[in-house]
Amino acid sequence: MNETWESIVQIVGVGVPGSVHPILAQTDVFGSFLEDIIAFLPNLLGAVLFLVLGIIVAVAVANLIEGLLSRTRIDNQIANWLTAAQEGVEPPKIEKWISGGVFWLIIIFTVVGVLQRLQLEAVSEPLNSFLNQILSFLPQLLGAAILLGVAWLIASLVKLVTTRSLRVFRLDERLGQQVESPSEGTSTSASTPPANQFSLSDTIGNALYWFIFLLFLPSILSTLGLQGTLEPVQQLLNEILAALPNILKAIVIAGAGWVVAQVVRRIVTGLLSAAGFNQLGSQFGLQTTTGGKSLSWIIGTIVYVLILIPTAIAALNALEIQAISEPAIAMLDQILSAIPKIATAVVILIIAYVLGQFVSELVTNILTSIGFNNLFQWLGLTSPSTSATPADEEPEIPEPSTGQETVLQSSPVTTRTPSELVGVIALVAIMLFAVVAATDILEIEPLTAIVTGIMVIAGQILGGLVVFAIGLSLASFTFKLVSSSGSQQSVFLGQAA
């Protein structure tokens, strides 16, 4: 019996611990989990508190920076500088950009601190390295910003001083007086310049402004460590600085030549006007009315151009840019070589016109004195006459206006006498010969051939007209001779003859 109970007790004793052990194991896991949560809870609360504080600080700092920038004009000046102060283009909100950048930078720092507080190194390490790169680049960025600010300050001062100095010397007004002609200068008030007038002072000031920025650009790029961008910019700046003396030399030569040409043109125009050349030019149809230029102004402009051409050649030579100077100088040399020929041709045409006017009047007077105006009667034709008002008739007194529209009567068409027509033909013939000589001097062979052909055709037409006039005169004489016999068929026979 005892052995039986011992065996039963052993069996029961072995089975009981097997059913109790899993419950005890689950209790240990849950307890350790609670311990971990309790141990992690301070870190979690600290991370949440750190996140809330970081957001509050980021918002406060961003609002503070935006408020400070809004109270100053620094952001507006930066915005205008970025957009080049273009009309119709809304400047960017620089204060929002800067405050937003500061906000997100603080948020990134806050996130890194939260992740480190939560002991999440796998996530915080990339952000931490990113922040380290930003922090290591901040001194370079700050140095570039300082250089950019210094460049802006110097450029603004140079632009202000240059513009004010040129305006004190009234460069724009002097330039406007030199550009406009004397006739235009009397009608335009100097105190009210046009709104879109070119301002040389502002142009020079803006050029110096951006040139100073260009000088600072290599230093800014070097501070930022942008070597790939620095090398071409440095090479470009070296080329500009190497060409700058030649450019300044060309500008000085061109400016001096332009001033001399303007002064000489005014002197020549004034002297010729005082000598009475404008009255001489009025005989050629050069009236000083609206849209017309006087002869003295035309000659002064020709002298002006003749001075500017060698000035342009000298300025192009000073540039020492073969790709531009060689073809331009070759073209200007051709113009200079053609000027004597053009002047000779113009002199020939002027002399021919004056001589033609004299010959035309001489021929007209001689033919009028010998009765050539009776040519149409000699040819048996009725002479054209113009309707004229008899001298003894008194002009009608105009009636008072009745409110109706007034119709202007057309003036009678003036006719020329045969003597005047022959004088005009003589003038045209002399001018055609002069044109042939002028085109021959200018070496324009096609135009010479055309004018020569016109002269040949005109000669043939004149010869035909002379033959026709002689035949018509003989026919009229025969008609009068036959019809004067007094027979019944004399008129018929005269017309048949």
Q: Which of 84-98, 332-346, 415-429 shows the lowest mean pLDDT across its residues?
A: 84-98
CA distance 293 to 301: 11
pLDDT range class, residue 299, cuts 50, 70, 90: confident
Q: Which of 132-141, 279-288, 345-354 shows the lowest mean pLDDT across its residues?
A: 279-288
pLDDT at residue 487 above 70? no
Phi/psi for 263 (5° steps) reads -65, -45
Identify which has the larger pLDDT, 115 or 267.
267
Q: Which of 73, 92, 119 is the last residue of a domain?
A: 119
Q: What is the token pair recorded at 131?
A: 């922040």
pLDDT at residue 89 above 70? no
Of 312, 311, 307, nearest in space to 324 by CA? 312
pLDDT at residue 41 above 70? yes
Q: Which of 119, 147, 171 is the last residue of a domain?
A: 119
Q: Which of 74, 94, 119 is the last residue of a domain?
A: 119
pLDDT at residue 152 above 70? yes
- Is residue 349 within 8 A of residue 434, CB to CB? The reply is yes
pLDDT range class, residue 185, cuts 50, 70, 90: very low
Hey, how many other C-beta atoms are within 10 angstroms of the C-beta on 181?
Answer: 15
- Is residue 307 within 8 A of residue 257, CB to CB? The reply is yes
Residues 246-253 have a mean pLDDT of 90
Identify which has the larger pLDDT, 175 or 216.
216
Residues 91-97 have a mean pLDDT of 72
Q: Is residue 63 part of a domain?
A: yes
pLDDT range class, residue 253, cuts 50, 70, 90: very high
Identify which has the larger pLDDT, 186 or 222.
222
Would you state the pLDDT for residue 165? 86
Q: Is residue 445 part of a domain?
A: yes
Q: Is residue 64 part of a domain?
A: yes
pLDDT at residue 412 above 80? no
Would you state the pLDDT for residue 154? 92
Q: Which of 21-30, 235-244, 330-339, 435-444 shows the lowest mean pLDDT across its residues?
A: 21-30
Would you state the pLDDT for residue 370? 82
Q: Which of 100-114, 172-186, 223-237 shows the lowest mean pLDDT across its residues?
A: 172-186
Q: Is residue 172 part of a domain?
A: no
Residues 108-129 have a mean pLDDT of 76
Q: Which distant-in-sequence residues (6+ apart) come within 8 Å of 363 by Cβ?
A: 419, 422, 423, 426
Most confident of 43-47, 371-375, 446-450, 463-467: 446-450
Would you state the pLDDT for residue 388? 41
Half-sphere exposure of 386 (CA within 13 A, CB side): 9
pTM > 0.75: yes or no: no
Mean pLDDT of the chain, nearest integer: 74
Most confident of 13-22, 93-102, 190-199, 440-449: 440-449
| Contacts by 238-242, CB closer than 8 A, 24 or more apart | 240/214
Would you state the pLDDT for residue 14? 46
Q: Which of 171-180, 294-303, 435-444, 445-454 shows the lowest mean pLDDT across its residues?
A: 171-180
pLDDT range class, residue 495, cuts 50, 70, 90: low
Would you state the pLDDT for residue 186? 43
Hey, how many other C-beta atoms are within 10 angstroms of the C-beta on 74?
Answer: 14
- Is residue 200 within 8 A of residue 166, CB to CB? The reply is yes
Identify which has the larger pLDDT, 408 or 447.
447
Exposure pattern of 50-60 as b/e (b: 16+ CB <10 Å)?
A: bbeebeeebee
Residue 32's domain comprises 27-119
How many domains would you assign to the chain? 2
Residue indicated by tokens 């034709």: 381
Q: Is residue 242 part of a domain?
A: no
Would you state the pLDDT for residue 484? 63
Q: What is the token pair recorded at 410?
A: 């057309």
- Is residue 261 within 8 A of residue 179, CB to CB? The reply is no
Q: Is residue 230 part of a domain?
A: no
With H, G, I as helix, E, B as strand and everything else as coil, classify residue 189.
Answer: coil
pLDDT at residue 184 above 50? no
Q: Is residue 457 part of a domain?
A: yes
Tell me what percent of the residues of the chain surpass a pLDDT of 90: 2
CA distance 156 to 202: 12
Q: Is residue 62 part of a domain?
A: yes
pLDDT range class, residue 198, cuts 50, 70, 90: low
Residues 415-434 have a mean pLDDT of 86
- Is residue 83 within 8 A of residue 91, CB to CB? The reply is yes
Of 243, 368, 258, nearest in space to 307 by CA? 258
Exposure pattern of 472-497 as b/e (b: 16+ CB <10 Å)?
A: eeeebeebeebbeeeeeeeeeebeee
pLDDT at residue 16 above 60? no
